[in-house]
Chains A and B, each alone.
Chain A
Amino acid sequence: MLVYLKLAWRNIWRNKRRTLITQFSMIVTLALMIAYSGLVWGLLNQMERNATLLGPGEIQIHVPGYRDDRSIYKVIDRPDTIISSIEKNGARAASRLQGFGLVSHDENSSGAQILGIDPAREKNVTRFHRHLFRGAFLAGANEVIVGSKIAVTLDVTVGDELVVVTQAADGSIGNDIYTVAGILNRIGEEIDRSAIMMSLADFRDLFSMGDVATEIAIRRVHDRQELGELRDVIAGGIPALEVKTWKELFPAISDMIDIADLSIYILFFIVYLAASLITLNTMLMAVYERIRELGIMMAIGFRPLQVMTLIFVETFYLTLCAVGAGLVCGVGLSAYLTRYGLDLTSFSDGFSFAGILAEPHWFAVTNAQTVLPAAVFLVIISFAAVLYPALKAARLKPLEALNFN
């Protein structure tokens, strides 16, 4: 066996330039594929985070039918009882109210979604409070947080006065003046364009509503807890209400994450197929230029299987070196993108997919899931590509090979 290793090692370096070029192509493709899958997972993780922590939370409770008709009359009664039982189950929850109103500042006015939130509890469930472009989160009465685009429409900034007019739940005209406490970063089209957040107390006052909520948002304390299980536990306690996980609320994002592996592997296959043609060519040339030499080896007793083994060991060395260097470069590149990200702000403001923001500053992730499949796939495809030159070598007839020129 040792003799194979020695022979193979010497053989691959007989034509240094060709070997290095082949390896270089493998290193580049592997490094790019590692960075690519890191970026894809980075984007998906970010969208999952935005779908949960900058929006609905991980699980939501509504009155059945609320999601089709967001009416202030489809409410959950006494939400605090439900919240405390959820908290006993080891999760965190916050009440929300949503209504529609006309907001105005000076000469500018616009229709808006008015969101009533519980600032203290909301901080445990979502990260709106850490996603402020300017100003501070809700702290006192008659303060509002404004979506990034509607802030531009209304031409308001922190400290400005905002008038909200609406039709209260009893049919009367609800109206009040608020101070803009903060402006949100971009989150998603709907919130950016139309959201005004205020405290639950202010919302109930404006809309003449009692102790009700239109929505309860929930977040696990430990990510290890299975989401579906927690949903079932919560739903068991409140059979009259609709309890859904974010995956059920945003099936498009959830499906995208489910098929992400498959779609990444398909790209691996296509890119590596191209790279492996170079390997195939290298090994085929290596076989052809050594036909006489291989003929001699066979004449002195090498069996076809042993010749094949030799070619495979050569390929093994070739790819081993390349994969080693490729892993170093790929992990390095991916780690750089994980740390510093890919800043596309000059090209785009980010885009929304299914209402969820993909931010323009794009960070990768680097872990076994993003790195190992890229390397394993490269090895498998390279070996498959060398099958043809190896068989070619194994099938040589010693006599013909000796006379080959």
Chain B
Amino acid sequence: MIMKTHNIFFVFVLTAISFFLFPLSAARPDEHSARAILDHIDRMWRGKSSTGTYEMTIKTAHWQRSLRIRSWTKGLDYTLVRIEYPKKEKGVASLKVKNNLWNYLPKINRVVKVPSSLMMGSWMGSHFTNDDVVKESTLADDYHHTITFSGSRDGQDVYEITLTPKEEAAVVWGKIVILIQQKDLIPLSEEFFDEQEKPVRKIVLSDVKTIGGRMLPTKLNVIPYDKPGEFTRIIYADLTFDIDIADSFFSLRTLKQKGD
């Protein structure tokens, strides 16, 4: 439950970004179905594969700490993350292959599989859940998406897109509302609601920069509404897309390499 921080960033940025191009479809509805745009955004955000480094800062009522994390991804099914800093957790790593999640603990040299019963548990002590890490690819499949607002809000032209779960989908959220800047289609925020439509947490994306040759928000802040004062913040340091990486890289063997 502690090891999955890395992926989470992707999860959220991905969902956010997957809607990045959505406004295009609104502008040219004849040319793009929402789904096609989502897929396009996925590809654009993620590339075929990627590697990057980010810093995750977690603040809770009792402690605050920062982790530096290296990540590798390929398609939607493979993700590997490894903690580079602090020293106590150096080499701790998470591997996601499809819906499975393993953590590696260098101190005791053991791999632990995260059971499905703990999917709602905290990932790496952050305000992300294990489920956030594993389920990253299913938002587009599991939800209906509609543009619920288009116009000026807080001095910016934005699109508001609301996701509601499909009836048969086994999902965690009752509703997700995403705000996207119209001029460059960069996502600003995502707000998550439970089944009673009560807001649970908000993710704010900011600091748009050119990274890995693309314009992307490089800072992501998770704010849980039920824990005032707490947050998890992720800031990307570097990101490279379309690297040459084999499926076999995402293996328990790689997971156990301590990194250097």
Binding site for B on A (CB under 8 A): 73, 102, 104, 107, 109-111, 163, 165-167, 169-173, 175-177
CB-based contact B112/A171 at 8 Å: no
Residues in A with CB closer than 8 Å to B97 are none
CB-based contact B62/A73 at 8 Å: yes
User: Is B60 an interface residue when CB atoms closer than 8 A count as contact?
Assistant: yes
Quick one: CB contact mask for B92-119 with A, threshold 8 Å, 1 for yes? 1000000000010101101011110110
Name the CB-closest residue of B to A101: B1
With both chains docked as a complex, state the minimum distance between the C-beta of B3 and any C-beta of chain A, in angstroms.
Answer: 7
Given contacts A73-B62, A167-B2, contact A175 B107 (CB under 8 A): yes
User: Is B183 an interface residue when CB atoms closer than 8 A count as contact?
Assistant: no
CB-based contact A111/B2 at 8 Å: no
Residues in B with CB closer than 8 Å to A176 are 107-108
CB-based contact B1/A102 at 8 Å: yes
Given contact pairs A165-B105, A176-B107, a sample of 20 additional A-B residue pairs in the complex whose CB atoms are under 8 Å apart: A73-B61, A73-B62, A102-B1, A102-B114, A102-B121, A104-B110, A107-B113, A109-B113, A109-B114, A163-B110, A167-B1, A167-B2, A170-B65, A171-B60, A171-B63, A171-B65, A172-B125, A173-B105, A175-B107, A175-B108
With both chains docked as a complex, state the minimum distance between the C-beta of A20 and any C-beta of chain B, in angstroms.
Answer: 64
Given contacts A165-B2, A167-B1, A167-B125, contact A109 B115 (CB under 8 A): yes
Partner of B1, one of A163, A165, A169: A165
CB-based contact B3/A167 at 8 Å: no
Name the CB-closest residue of B to A167: B125
Residues in A with CB closer than 8 Å to B58 are 171
Count of A-B residue pairs with CB < 8 Å: 68
Complex CA distance for A180 and B108, rounded to whole angstroms: 16
Name the CB-closest residue of B to A103: B112
Residues in A with CB closer than 8 Å to B92 are 173
With both chains docked as a complex, state the minimum distance between the C-beta of A286 and any C-beta of chain B, in angstroms.
Answer: 71
With both chains docked as a complex, state the minimum distance between the C-beta of B232 and any C-beta of chain A, in angstroms.
Answer: 11
CB-CB nearest 5 A-B residue pairs: A171-B63, A173-B2, A104-B112, A175-B105, A167-B125
Name the CB-closest residue of A to B122: A167
Name the CB-closest residue of B to A208: B88
User: Is B191 an interface residue when CB atoms closer than 8 A count as contact?
Assistant: no
CB-based contact B125/A110 at 8 Å: no
- Return 28 A-B CB contacts under 8 Å, by A number: A73-B61, A102-B112, A102-B114, A102-B118, A104-B110, A104-B112, A107-B113, A110-B117, A111-B117, A111-B118, A111-B121, A163-B110, A163-B112, A165-B1, A165-B103, A165-B112, A167-B2, A170-B65, A171-B58, A171-B60, A172-B65, A173-B3, A173-B89, A173-B105, A173-B125, A175-B105, A176-B108, A177-B110
